[in-house]
Structure 1
Amino acid sequence: MELFADRAEAGRRLAERLLDAHDPVVLALPRGGVAVAAPIARRLGVPLDVLVTRKIGYPQQPELGVGAVAEGGEPVFDRTLLRRLGMTPESVADVVEQERRELARRVRVYRGDRPLPALAGREVIVVDDGLATGGTARAALRAVAAAGPARVTLAVPVGALGTVESLRHEADEVVALLTPVDFRAVGQWYVHFEQLSDADVLDLLGQV
């Protein structure tokens, strides 16, 4: 299966599948999703903004996500995983609070005092650079849905097949260019998959 050269190329290819969108609001999940969304917004001729999300990690193993939270939304938990770990949402309340503080910091960095664009009655395209477990995308989609949009599309270059299918219940449409059965990590489907900084995100937002 062909790899994407980088996030920008993935975004350009993804944009061709989104040309029927009617004056959409394009929201990228930072940081990686912004590099995919920038060429989409340019191709569609619409503004780009961010929807900040944070993973909620298992306290003993923070890289293991037991949920996620998006700005403007409530925490969304993987309740099956929590039960398997013998935990409840209340067990990770301190982690949730910590991630909310970091989320607020990133919102200030990326958007300053400017609020999210008005989403009520609008078509919204949520963009990320790939879907592994889909936790942050699910939290983002639910936060967007709560704002009353007319239609929501989740657009990603690549995603685990099971995750893509599960998220079809959270959006009106999920556009994924690649859904490989041997998916192990998002980065394996890109030739260049550098980590982005806050400065990179701000630069990309300034280019659209």
Structure 2
Amino acid sequence: MFTSRVDAGKKLGEELKLQNIRADLVLGIPRGGVVVAYEIARELKCVLDVLVVKKLGSPSNPELAIGALTFDDVTYIDENLSRGVGADADYIRGEIVRRHHELVKRNQLLRHSPLPPDVGHKSVILVDDGVATGATVLAALMWLVQKKTRTTILALPVAAVDTAYELCKRVATCVILEKPNTLNSVGSFYKEFEQVEEEEVKMLLERYHK
């Protein structure tokens, strides 16, 4: 259990330091992941940036992720789940188009640049505030592979044990502090888990880069 995202970030930073893990860049997934990433970057004294990713919702339940999309259209789709909820190819294409403009706008707002984070041939720590289905992190990991990072480290406060296993197979190093057998809600592992607004993310990034 974590008091807050700040607490989770500090604990992850301490664990990464204890394991002597170093990186060129800490990459947070907005919005909540950036709060965690901020504390890790402070602890490890490295560059902080964000990777804008958003889940793709199912036809009947927008909160159920059938996949995820990065701001520059790297896409992960859970084929089995998509079939199970009746999300055909036309629906998925439409969902990608709907999310694309929102993601491009958010990337410009948070990063003040249409360009992607510079991760090529660098050691990168990818951070979120927790993982339920894993769709968002899987899309982010696909993006990092395409950008040819030197090393990818995944750092998470919490992920269900089966999901953690699948994610950790895809990276060089994996640090996950809590791995419950089941995880219905990431927020259940936090005492405080209020929604993080984009203005707070902007403020953290601006404060870090002063």
Q: Does 1:36 align with 2:36?
A: yes
Residue 21 of structure 1: SS of its match in structure 2?
coil
Distance 1:170 1:73, change over 3 A: farther
Q: For residue 24 of structure 1, report the CA deviation from its aligned partner.
A: 2.1
**Following superposition of structure 1 onto structure 2, how do residues 89-104 of structure 1 map, counting pairs within 5 Å?**
89-104=89-104
What is the RMSD computed on CA atoms of the aligned residues?
1.5
Equivalent residue number for residue 14 of structure 2: 16
**Following superposition of structure 1 onto structure 2, how do residues 75-86 of structure 1 map, counting pairs within 5 Å?**
75-86=75-86
Q: For residue 190 of structure 1, report the CA deviation from its aligned partner.
A: 0.5
Identity of aligned residues (%): 36
Q: For residue 182 of structure 1, report the CA deviation from its aligned partner.
A: 4.1
* TM-score under structure 1 length normalisation: 0.93
C-alpha distance in 2 between matches for 1:200 and 1:46: 20
C-alpha distance in 2 between matches for 1:174 and 1:89: 33
C-alpha distance in 2 between matches for 1:109 and 1:180: 35
CA contact 1:71–1:143 (8 Å) conserved in 2: no
Distance 1:60 1:184, change over 3 A: closer
Code of the aligned partner of 1:34: V
* TM-score under structure 2 length normalisation: 0.92
Q: Give structure 2 stretches of 5+ with no counterpart.
A: none
Q: Does 1:128 align with 2:163?
A: no
CA contact 1:14–1:157 (8 Å) conserved in 2: yes
Equivalent residue number for residue 199 of structure 1: 199
Code of the aligned partner of 2:140: A
Q: For residue 90 of structure 1, report the CA deviation from its aligned partner.
A: 3.6
Q: Could you tell which deviates more after superposition, 119-128 or 109-118? A: 109-118
Equivalent residue number for residue 5 of structure 1: 3
Code of the aligned partner of 2:198: D
Code of the aligned partner of 1:83: R
**Following superposition of structure 1 onto structure 2, how do residues 162-173 of structure 1 map, counting pairs within 5 Å?**
162-173=162-173
Residue 199 of structure 1: SS of its match in structure 2?
helix
Equivalent residue number for residue 176 of structure 2: 176
C-alpha distance in 2 between matches for 1:197 and 1:85: 30
The one-character-per-residue Cα deviations of 1:124-172 (angstroms, maximum 9, x if unpaired) are: 1000000100000000011011111111011110111111111122222
Code of the aligned partner of 2:180: P
How many pairs does the alignment contain? 206
CA contact 1:77–1:89 (8 Å) conserved in 2: no
Q: For residue 114 of structure 1, report the CA deviation from its aligned partner.
A: 5.7
C-alpha distance in 2 between matches for 1:114 and 1:73: 13
Q: For residue 9 of structure 1, report the CA deviation from its aligned partner.
A: 0.7
Equivalent residue number for residue 63 of structure 1: 63
Q: Does 1:139 align with 2:139?
A: yes
The one-character-per-residue Cα deviations of 1:82-131 (angstroms, maximum 9, x if unpaired) are: 22234433432111111111110110110112633321211010000001
CA contact 2:72–2:104 (8 Å) conserved in 1: no
Residue 76 of structure 1: SS of its match in structure 2?
strand
The one-character-per-residue Cα deviations of 1:45-77 (angstroms, maximum 9, x if unpaired) are: 112110000111112321221110113452110
Residue 96 of structure 2: SS of its match in structure 1?
helix
C-alpha distance in 1 between matches for 2:35 and 2:10: 10
CA contact 1:124–1:151 (8 Å) conserved in 2: yes
Residue 63 of structure 2: SS of its match in structure 1?
strand
